[in-house]
């Protein structure tokens, strides 16, 4: 990834979601909670080392709940993006929709609980200056 970024301008490291846990493992088996939690933290550490710019949130990323996801997102050097995860009390998005990295502003239109719609990256504009 480092070589690509040095040779090509405008490359983003992104993941569209459903990254942290096995597909359809919700609810997680009680005897596996510690192990899958540790694995999720290792995945985030790996993405930090690879220099990822953002990840979308998919349904399977919520296997241990939204609170766990918000906690683990604090360990990331990149934002978690979502188009449809809201705080129930305030109605405000729980995670950002837009991000600005590497001279670009982009949205990762990641929709949790929507198996028919894939995540999309939308380049809003390129910063100049």
* Cis geometry, peptide bond prior to residue 27 (ω within 30 degrees of 0): yes
What mean pLDDT is predicted for residues 120-128?
47
Rounded distance between C-alpha atoms, residue 129 and residue 127, angstroms:
7
Q: Which residue has the higher pLDDT, 116 or 102?
A: 102
> How many structural domains is the chain composed of?
1
Range of the domain at 53: 2-126
Q: What's the confidence (pLDDT) of residue 111?
A: 67
Residue 116 has pLDDT above 70, yes or no: no
Residue 64 has pLDDT above 70, yes or no: yes
Rounded distance between C-alpha atoms, residue 75 and residue 22, angstroms:
21
Cα angle 36-92-100, degrees, rounded to a multiple of 5:
75
Residues 1-18 pLDDT 10s? 777 777 777 788 888 888
CATH number of 20's domain: 3.60.21.10
| Percent of the chain whose predicted confidence (pLDDT) is above 70 | 79
3-state SS assignment for residue 87: coil
């Amino acid at each position: 990834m480092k070589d690509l970024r040095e040779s090509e301008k405008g490359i983003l490291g992104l993941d569209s979601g459903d990254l942290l846990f096995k597909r359809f493992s919700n609810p997680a088996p009680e005897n596996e909670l510690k192990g899958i939690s540790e694995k999720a933290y290792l995945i985030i550490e790996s993405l930090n080392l690879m220099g990822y710019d953002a990840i979308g949130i998919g349904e399977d990323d919520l296997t241990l709940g939204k609170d766990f996801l918000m906690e683990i997102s604090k360990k990331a050097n990149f934002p978690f993006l979502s188009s449809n995860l809201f705080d129930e009390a305030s109605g405000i998005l729980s995670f950002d929709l837009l991000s600005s990295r590497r001279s670009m502003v982009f949205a990762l239109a990641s929709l949790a609980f929507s198996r028919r719609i894939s995540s999309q990256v939308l380049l809003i504009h390129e910063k100049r200056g």
